Amino acid sequence: MKITDNIYWIGIKDWELRSFHGRELSTHHGSTYNSYLLKDEINVLIDTVWDPFADRFIKKLEADPGIANIDAVVINHIEPDHGGSLGILAKNGLRPDVPIYCSKPGAEIINKYFHDVKLNLQPVETGDTIKTGKFKLVFVEMRMIHWPDSMLTYVDGDGTLFSNDAFGQHLCASGYFNDEVDEALLYGEAMKYYAGILTPYSKLIERKIGMLNAMEIPIKLIAPSHGVIWRKDPLDIVNKYLEWSMDYNDGSVVVVYDCLYKATRQIAAAIAQGLENKGVRHKVVNSGDSDFSDLFTDLFRARGMIVGSSTVNNAMLRSISAALDCVKSHKLKGKIGAAFGSYGWSGEAPKQIAEKLESAGVGLIGKPIGIKYAPTADELKECVLFGETFADAL
Ligand code: FEO
């Protein structure tokens, strides 16, 4: 698929993928593993594909230009979904003298992954360039966005930025470009990707985008390694990343709970009623029955999280514990929260939730609400009032 006069998409569309990073992330709309070929005076392969798809990838490359005719390879990121086929190419005709351009940490990781093949690794740093003929490749390190080896490659003279994971989406579509797919779906998947994969590195992303803007490179296309290519207004997604990296929230609240029977659910509904009374956009989610990645995206988007669990065996339920661990590990910033739950006798869960929220940097509103067995009408009224108080604190 020709994407510019000299650049071809030679990736793989994976319509069936439903989870990624093992079972960590849901991918309701599949994904793609984007590899690109620059045809200039030399043929340059930019990234490969996940190795389960190596056979299809090799067939594409053999059809044009032929693996033996690849003159240089750029590995922007060696995580197996992009670099996984490199070793297989080396065993299927890639010439051993072909330079493999990667970051210095990338070279270390490539040596660890592919210790049984000979590769001509050529580590590069930010600002390094190589001439390909009429074009020049410019490398920009993206260390820890989101691996130590990550980098971008810009094609000077063509205006294409190969951004690898940055600006990607787990989205498989018939189209190849952002103007060929549903915009709401596209931005929803781009945000889910950012929330699930890139949030812990937001501070670095903010700085790196500042650096890219200062370079004032004319960007015509942003070609990530997952999903569609940003052709129409390509800088819009860069601006979105900047917005998402700066303690983003849309002012909404997620009431998230898990429960054994119905008491904690009734408390959740009463708190949500209080939010509704104040006109606050909110969502009520039973974490035990919900897609974890979608829930986390909701938490990423929200200003507030009101978190509840029944107490079982002196502890909160595991879906709530996992959600709170994720809030902490992803370093969500600028959030406020509260804790609630029903219990029978010991009642530890609301206090434990409050402690986890606090240790994740979430600002607590009010004291943890614990209600014994089933809430009375008066207790539910108190919960409605609490929802209103929380709304006032947003
Ligand atoms: Fe899409 Fe970091 O791999």
Delineate the domains of the chain, giving CATH numbers in brackets: 7-245 (3.60.15.10), 253-393 (3.40.50.360)
Residue ranges of alpha helices (H) inside 118-254 are 183-193, 202-215, 235-245
Tokens 């009429």 sit on residue? 134
What backbone torsions phi and psi does residue 236 show, to the nearest 5 degrees?
A: -60, -40
Which atom belonging to ligand 1 lies closest to the Cα atom of 147?
2
Ligand 1 neighbour 31 (Cβ under 6 A): no
Q: What is the biggest distance separating any 2 CA atoms in the chain, rounded to whole angstroms?
A: 78
Q: Which two tokens stand for residue 274?
A: 């209080």
Tokens 């009224």 sit on residue? 381
CB-based burial, 98-111: b 16+ in 10 Å, e otherwise: bbbbbbebbbbbbe
**Whole-number Cα distances in Å, 229 to 4, 58, 121:** 11, 22, 28
Least confident of 51-55, 210-214, 254-258, 265-269: 210-214
If you write DSSP's letter for every residue of 19-30 in order, what string do you get? EETTTTEE-TT-
Find the helix or strand (DSSP H, E) in which 7 lies: strand 7-9
Q: What are the E-state strand segments in 119-272?
A: 120-124, 129-131, 136-141, 151-156, 160-164, 221-224, 253-258
**Portion of the chain with pLDDT greater than 70, in percent:** 100
* Residues in contact with 140: Cβ distance below 8 Å, sequence separation at least 6, in sequence order: 126, 127, 151, 152, 153, 154, 211, 212, 215
Summary mean pLDDT of the chain: 97
Q: At what angle do helices 235-245 and 183-193 cross, to 10 degrees?
A: 40
What residues form DSSP beta bridges with 32? Answer: 13
CA–centroid distance, residue 330 to ligand 1 (Å): 17
- 310 closest CA partner among 299, 321, 302: 321
Alpha-carbon gap, residue 305 to 256, rounded angstroms: 7
CA–centroid distance, residue 81 to ligand 1 (Å): 6
Tens digits of residue pLDDT in 318-358: 999 999 999 999 999 999 999 999 999 999 999 999 999 99
Residue 364 pLDDT class (50, 70, 90 cuts): very high
Q: Amino acid identity of 33?
A: Y
Residue 368 pLDDT class (50, 70, 90 cuts): very high
Residue 251 pLDDT class (50, 70, 90 cuts): very high
Q: Which two tokens stand for residue 348?
A: 């530890």
Ligand 1 neighbour 170 (Cβ under 6 A): no
Q: Which residues are catalytic?
A: 21, 77, 79, 81, 146, 165, 193, 226
Residue 312 pLDDT class (50, 70, 90 cuts): very high
CA–centroid distance, residue 95 to ligand 1 (Å): 26
pLDDT, residue 264, reads 98
Mean pLDDT of 255-282: 98
What is the three-class DSSP state of 174? Answer: coil
Nearest CA to ligand 1 atom 1: 165
Nearest CA to ligand 1 atom 3: 79
Q: Are strands 221-224 and 160-164 parallel, antiparallel or unpaired?
A: parallel
- Give the HSE-up count for residue 14: Cα atoms under 13 Å, Cβ half-sphere: 25
Find the helix or strand (DSSP H, E) in which 292 lies: helix 292-301
What backbone torsions phi and psi does residue 382 show, to the nearest 5 degrees?
A: -60, -40
Ligand 1 neighbour 82 (Cβ under 6 A): yes
pLDDT, residue 35, reads 98
Residue 122 pLDDT class (50, 70, 90 cuts): very high
Tell me if 35 sits within 8 A of 45, measured CB to CB.
yes
Alpha-carbon gap, residue 341 to 349, rounded angstroms: 7
pLDDT, residue 275, reads 98
What backbone torsions phi and psi does residue 323 show, to the nearest 5 degrees?
A: -65, -40
Mean pLDDT of 237-261: 97
What backbone torsions phi and psi does residue 264 show, to the nearest 5 degrees?
A: -65, -35
Sheet containing 72-74: which strands, arranged edge to edge?
7-9, 36-39, 43-46, 72-74, 99-103, 120-124
pLDDT, residue 179, reads 98
Q: Which two tokens stand for residue 376?
A: 């009375």
Q: Amino acid identity of 85?
A: S
Alpha-carbon gap, residue 256 to 265, rounded angstroms: 9
Mapping DSSP onto H, E and C, the string for 265-319 reads HHHHHHHHHHHHHCCCCEEEEEHHHCCHHHHHHHHHHCCEEEEEECCECCECCHH
Q: Amino acid identity of 275?
A: L
CA–centroid distance, residue 244 to ligand 1 (Å): 19
- Give the 3-state secondary structure percentages of the chain, helix then strand then coil, rounded to 5: 40, 25, 40
Mapping DSSP onto H, E and C, the string for 53-98 reads HHHHHHHHHHHCCCHHHCCEEECCCCCHHHHCCHHHHHCCCCCCCC
Residue 69 pLDDT class (50, 70, 90 cuts): very high
Q: Which two tokens stand for residue 60?
A: 């594409």
